[in-house]
Structure 1
Amino acid sequence: MNCQPWLKSLVHKCLNINQSCLLCSEPAEQRHPLCVACEQELPWLDEHCLRCALPLPMTGLICAQCSRRPPAFDQVLAPWHYGFPLDTLISRFKHNGQWPLGRLMAEMLGHHLHHRYQDGLARPDLLLPVPLAPRRLRARGFNQAGMLGRWLSRALDIECDERLLLRTRETPAQQSLDAQARRHNLRRAFALACEASLKGSHVAVVDDVLTTGATAQAIAQLLRQGGARRVDVYCLARTAKPGQA
């Protein structure tokens, strides 16, 4: 009896090889719904600051800002810089509720982190999504950082806690502000739940995009004050400096 067609069908089913690419609708032929051609077109972040992941022209460097004033977080981990078509995918996930795109990016971020762990990156004890202001959460209906955190938690087998980090006051959207205004905007915007116990822990803050780093800095300072010994930042993308390609 020839069972090769049956085996082939089973393998394709298990690996989801028959699924379509979410970008071009062609057969993905991979575990995740993205074809090889579209995956290669993503703006992969290769040369970047070792601390904040700011795109740089060379590898193995620390940017001037991190050298002058080291941030409260230890390291930013991001597979991409914020460019086309990733910026469109994030926007469609974040503002149009296209969750399959968010799950795809979270899955790929998880693969990126797995490789980094194999290369010696320390695994955190806990994932903490950046909380969304209540008014914005009601308007959007979901917190994109929370969803990314839950997907990463399953992919990495690391606990995700969405109740430990709190947003204590409404603030204007960060996108319309410059770096200084962003820092001022976030003063006393976050707090830890009263039952939070972070002494000696290694935590990773989860967000979609890191721009100036003001949010990451404010949260990392809070977590350090709460006893965390190390704070990393996991995000999908890192923006370049204004005017930098």
Structure 2
Amino acid sequence: MRCQPQYDGSVYIWLKNKQSCLLCGETTDTPQPICTPCESELPWLGDQCSVCALPLPMAGLCCGQCATRPPAFERVLAPWAYDFPVDTLITRFKHQAKWPLGRLMGELLAQSLQHHFDEGLERPDALVPVPLAARRLRQRGFNQATLLARWLSKPLAIPCEENLLRRTQDTPAQQALDAKARRRNLRQAFAVTPEALLHNRHLALVDDVLTTGATAQALARLLLDAGAARVDVYCLARTPKPAELA
């Protein structure tokens, strides 16, 4: 007895299904839903500070801030400058819950990080998303840093420890404050989960954008004081604004 139906038509093979580019709508055969022209035109971060990834006019340099007052974190890795269309994609991901855009950027970030690992970058023991304030988490419904860390975890084979850090205070948005107010704003704003084991571990903070670096500095210092050996920062984009890490 034959169990399979007779069918002579074409068979739909989902693995070979063509995708549409999320930026221009054109059909693409690439693994991610972005066509090659759109991917090549993204604002890829070029010459940058070897520590904080601040855009610089030449390669192999360290910015004045990092040279005179080295930050607590070891290195920032970001594939893009915070410019069009990446800035728009991040905004739509965060504030309009356009998760496919965030997933696309997360996959491209994973590819960029894997390239750095292949070139000799030390692989961290865990990915640690930057915690979101409780009020903002209720309003938004998700933490974009947590989603990014989860999307990076599987392709990079690095565990995501999303409960290692917690936000203890709701604070005003950093963008509206000057450097002194940012430092005061972040004081006592975060804590390490009491049961966390950090002794001599290499950790990587995950966030969407690095602007002044104040949040990354506060969290890196907190993790190092709790016993971590090294802290890196992985993010989607770096703004051209100089760091204010003191």
Give the TM interval when normalised to the shorter protein. Answer: over 0.9
State the 4+ residue runs in structure 1 displaced beyond 6 angstroms.
Answer: none
Aligned residue number for residue 73 of structure 1:
73
Gaps of 5+ in 2: 1-9
Deviations 1:31-81 (A, max 9, x none): 000001111111000100000000001100000000010000000000001
Counterpart Cα distance in 2 of 1:63 and 1:179: 18
Counterpart Cα distance in 1 of 2:82 and 2:191: 28
| AA matched with 1:128 | V
Percent identity reads 64
| AA matched with 2:31 | R
Counterpart Cα distance in 1 of 2:201 and 2:22: 37
- Per-residue deviation at 1:24? 0.5
* Cα pair 1:130 1:146 within 8 Å, conserved: yes
* Cα pair 1:164 1:196 within 8 Å, conserved: yes
Deviations 1:174-195 (A, max 9, x none): 1212333222210111100010
Q: Compared with structure 1, are the counterparts of its residues 15 and 241 closer, same or farther at alpha carbon in structure 2 (3 Å cutoff)?
A: farther
| AA matched with 2:182 | R
Structure 2 residue 235 is matched with structure 1 residue 240: no
Counterpart Cα distance in 1 of 2:37 and 2:181: 40
Counterpart Cα distance in 1 of 2:80 and 2:204: 18
Deviations 1:130-158 (A, max 9, x none): 00011110011000000001101112111
Counterpart Cα distance in 1 of 2:43 and 2:69: 28
Aligned pairs for 1:83-122 within 5 A: 83-122=83-122
- Per-residue deviation at 1:15? 5.7
TM-score, length basis structure 1 = 0.92
| AA matched with 1:214 | A
- Per-residue deviation at 1:241? 2.0
Counterpart Cα distance in 2 of 1:28 and 1:90: 22
Q: Compared with structure 1, are the counterparts of its residues 15 and 158 closer, same or farther at alpha carbon in structure 2 (3 Å cutoff)?
A: farther
Aligned residue number for residue 171 of structure 2:
171
Aligned residue number for residue 14 of structure 1:
15
- Per-residue deviation at 1:162? 1.1
| AA matched with 1:117 | F
Gaps of 5+ in 1: none
Aligned residue number for residue 213 of structure 2:
213
Structure 2 residue 180 is matched with structure 1 residue 180: yes
Aligned residue number for residue 53 of structure 1:
53
* Cα pair 1:43 1:83 within 8 Å, conserved: yes
Aligned to 1:87, the other structure's residue is in SS state helix
Aligned residue number for residue 36 of structure 1:
36
Q: Compared with structure 1, are the counterparts of its residues 194 and 80 closer, same or farther at alpha carbon in structure 2 (3 Å cutoff)?
A: same
| AA matched with 1:210 | L
Counterpart Cα distance in 2 of 1:15 and 1:184: 53
Counterpart Cα distance in 2 of 1:107 and 1:14: 18
| AA matched with 1:159 | P
* Cα pair 1:15 1:30 within 8 Å, conserved: no
Aligned residue number for residue 142 of structure 2:
142
Number of residue equivalences: 233
RMSD: 1.3
